[in-house]
């Protein structure tokens, strides 16, 4: 799916000014099959944005384009006022963090795993990131605590790996967090708490969350609805329900006739 020539590294000497996102006429196809078309969008710096839609609607592809895992075949994409393709790799990695559904841990201490992109972080900062990812209590219960090494002192479950990756992203200096179903391996109660923490302690960063369970992201500042690669609706939860379109249909499929969050 991602087989392609290496991407040309950007050479801009500028840095993104913030985590605002602008997409203009964005489109992409795989082997001639269009997966995203005519995406025009502006996301405010510091906003919490939910990206929802049926399976195969292009949500993960859009996140991968935002992270520059590949270049869009059509249109323009800017982060913080700077074209993404013009960012040097080091700048992009510093400003953008992606948490995918398949997370991994390195065979180093849990503290160093979390501080991977912030090696200067102290233990208090590391623990706060772990608390926000609902992982601190689990780590502190281990005999070696944050000195524990995955694969040697413990085996992390899928949900724990997800939370470890999320803590790593939260501690990073990134101004744009891209989260691809970051709670898919978590129980509903933990998932709700993680998402609540993301909203309340986002640190002024732009957060784009791909979500399957609409109820978990119904309080997002902006909800984007993708269907067959097209952005068919955008707005807040109540307004989208009142519009009785694609979002309302998805909501009813998951929650029955109930229309309140």
CATH number of the domain bearing residue 145: 3.40.50.300
Residue 158 lies in a domain: yes
Q: What percent of the chain has pLDDT over 70?
A: 96
Distance CA 63, CA 78 (A): 13
Considering the domain boundaries, does residue 3 fall inside one?
A: no
User: pLDDT confidence of 5, banded at 50, 70, 90?
Assistant: low
Residue whose C-alpha is closest to residue 38's, from 53, 23, 51, 17 = 23
Cα(8)–Cα(71) distance, integer angstroms: 10
* Lateral strand order in the sheet of 230-235: 96-99, 176-180, 206-210, 48-52, 222-227, 230-235
With both helix axes pointing from N to C terminus, report the angle between 158-171 and 123-132 in degrees, rounded to the nearest 10. Answer: 130
pLDDT bracket for residue 12 (50, 70, 90): confident
On whether residue 43 sits in a domain, the answer given is: yes
How many angstroms separate the CA atoms of 173 and 93, rounded? 9
Whether 73 maps to a domain, the answer reads yes
Q: Where in the sequence is the domain holding 174, given as residue range(s)?
A: 21-255
Closest-CA residue to 43 (of 182, 180, 176)? 176
pLDDT over threshold 70, residue 105: yes
With cut-offs at 50, 70 and 90, classify the pLDDT of residue 8.
confident
pLDDT digits (tens, 9 = 90+) for 15-36: 899 999 999 999 999 988 999 9
- Dihedral of the CA atoms 240, 246, 249, 253 (nearest 10)? -110
pLDDT band at 261 (very low <50, low <70, confident <90, very high): very low
Q: What pLDDT shows up at residue 259? A: 52
* Residue 9 in domain: no
Residue 16 resides in a domain: no
In a domain? residue 250: yes
Nearest to 203 by CA among 145, 135, 118: 118
| Total count of domains within the chain | 1
Q: Is the pLDDT of residue 258 over 90?
A: no
**Which 8-state DSSP code applies to residue 143?**
T
Q: What is the pLDDT of residue 1?
A: 42
**pLDDT tens, residue by residue, 206-248:** 999 999 999 999 999 999 999 999 999 999 999 999 999 999 9
Residue 86 and residue 80: Cα distance in Å, rounded?
12
Q: What is the mean pLDDT of the chain?
A: 93
What is the Cα gyration radius of the chain?
Answer: 19
pLDDT digits (tens, 9 = 90+) for 153-203: 999 999 999 999 999 999 999 999 999 999 888 888 999 999 999 998 876
Rounded distance between C-alpha atoms, residue 149 and residue 106, angstroms: 8
pLDDT digits (tens, 9 = 90+) for 146-167: 999 999 999 999 999 999 999 9
Instruction: Give a yes or no: residue 240 inside a domain.
Output: yes
**Tokens read off for 177:** 């967090």
Residue 244 and residue 15: Cα distance in Å, rounded? Answer: 41
């Amino acid at each position: 799916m991602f087989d392609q020539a290496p991407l040309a590294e950007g050479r801009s000497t500028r840095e993104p000014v913030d985590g605002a996102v602008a997409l203009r006429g964005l489109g992409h196809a795989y082997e001639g099959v269009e997966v995203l078309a005519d995406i025009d969008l502006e996301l405010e710096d510091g906003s919490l944005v939910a990206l929802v839609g049926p399976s195969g609607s292009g949500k993960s592809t859009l996140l991968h384009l935002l992270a520059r895992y590949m270049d869009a075949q059509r249109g323009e994409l800017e982060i913080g006022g700077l074209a993404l393709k013009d960012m040097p790799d080091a700048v992009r990695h510093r400003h953008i963090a992606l948490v995918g559904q398949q997370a991994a841990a390195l065979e180093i201490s849990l503290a160093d795993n979390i501080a991977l992109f912030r090696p200067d972080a102290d233990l208090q900062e590391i623990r706060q990131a772990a608390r926000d990812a609902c992982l601190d209590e689990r780590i502190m219960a281990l005999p070696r605590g944050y000195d524990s090494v995955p694969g040697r002192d413990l085996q992390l479950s899928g949900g724990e790996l997800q939370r470890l990756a999320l803590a790593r992203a939260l501690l990073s200096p990134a101004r744009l967090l891209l989260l691809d179903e970051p709670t898919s391996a978590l129980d509903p109660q933990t998932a709700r708490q993680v998402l609540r923490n993301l909203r309340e302690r986002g640190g002024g960063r732009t957060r784009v969350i791909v979500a399957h369970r609409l109820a978990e992201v119904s309080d997002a500042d902006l909800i984007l609805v993708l269907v067959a690669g097209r952005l068919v609706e955008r707005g807040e939860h109540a307004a989208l329900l009142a519009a009785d379109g694609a979002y309302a249909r998805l909501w009813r499929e998951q929650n029955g006739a109930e229309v309140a969050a």
